[in-house]
Chains A and B, each alone.
Chain A
């Protein structure tokens, strides 16, 4: 089957729960199908691999019409935490792993995890700020090199 996808490079550029999960699930699913996968974390997406933050990724409750409640309400103190807790419980019930567990799974599957150099510099971070599964901090140019011969998915 020549039309089969052999390789994907997935960019995670945002740091809210609902914007981190899709890229992770797609990367994990790619590996499960035998597809080579790379994950590139950029801008606020870096939170997903940040040692101190990756266990506390929150659902966006402001500017998220999918939640179907007033933006004003979503901005009240604690609402994001409560909604995050609610959705995490809901996901646990259908056996969706937490973000740290999912990332560990993806790394164990042999996928490459990379942090974007420009964003790392912007936020004044270094390799040590990231979970050990992160293989490297790379430039955009290097990312394209790693992505060569495959599909690129931006999330």
Chain B
């Protein structure tokens, strides 16, 4: 398993950079993961999505898709793609330290 070091803590990730053990994630790691994923500086709107993602994962065991995010996170689809141009659900999940959301839509 590859490892990465965020906020001076070594964590295990999969080949695409998603945390294999979400419990090893801490909020302080998010800015570094975001930079690495090409998202840049995290704003309050980014955080709203990241926290929502994390919360959904803790509730249901999987991260929401872009469609679900657009409907329920309080951030619409257009803005989601502005915040995370290279794939909102995918990038927010990676930054939130949870596995890649599954689902085709």
Residues of A in contact with B (beta carbons under 8 Å apart): 25, 28-29, 31-34, 95-97, 102, 105, 108-110
Stretch in contact with the other chain, from B4-12, B19-27, B53-61, B76-84: B76-84
A97-B67, A105-B67, A109-B66 known; A33 and B90 CB under 8 Å? yes
What are 27 A-to-B residue pairs whose CB atoms are below 8 Å?
A: A25-B104, A25-B105, A28-B105, A29-B104, A31-B87, A32-B65, A32-B88, A32-B90, A33-B90, A34-B85, A34-B87, A95-B105, A96-B105, A97-B67, A97-B105, A105-B67, A105-B70, A108-B70, A108-B76, A108-B77, A108-B78, A109-B66, A109-B77, A109-B81, A110-B78, A110-B81, A110-B85
Please indicate the chain A residues that have their CB under 8 angstroms from the CB of B65 in the complex: 32
Q: Is the CB of B104 within 8 A of A108?
A: no
Please indicate the chain A residues that have their CB under 8 angstroms from the CB of B77 in the complex: 105, 108-109
A109 to B104, CA, bound (A): 15
A33 to B66, CA, bound (A): 10
- 8 further A-B contacts with Cβ under 8 Å, apart from A28-B66, A110-B85, are A29-B104, A31-B66, A31-B87, A33-B87, A34-B86, A34-B91, A102-B105, A110-B78
Scoring B81, B87, B105 by chain A CB atoms within 10 A of each residue's CB, the highest score goes to B105
- In the assembled complex, B95 has its CB within 8 A of some CB on chain A: no
Give the size of the chain B interface in residues (CB under 8 angstroms). 17
A85 to B20, CA, bound (A): 42
For residue A26, give the distance in angstroms from its CB to the closest CB of chain B.
Answer: 9
Residues of B in contact with A (beta carbons under 8 Å apart): 65-67, 70, 76-78, 81, 85-91, 104-105
A133 to B86, CA, bound (A): 21
Q: Is the CB of A108 within 8 A of B105?
A: no
A28-B105, A29-B105, A108-B77 known; A34 and B70 CB under 8 Å? no
Residue of B nearest to A110 (CB): B81
A108 to B70, CA, bound (A): 10
A97-B67, A108-B76 known; A31 and B81 CB under 8 Å? yes
For residue B87, give the distance in angstroms from its CB to the closest CB of chain A.
Answer: 4
Please indicate the chain A residues that have their CB under 8 angstroms from the CB of B76 in the complex: 108
Please indicate the chain B residues that have their CB under 8 angstroms from the CB of A29 in the complex: 104-105
Please indicate the chain A residues that have their CB under 8 angstroms from the CB of B78 in the complex: 108, 110
A46 to B76, CA, bound (A): 27
Scoring A33, A34, A105, A110 by chain B CB atoms within 10 A of each residue's CB, the highest score goes to A34
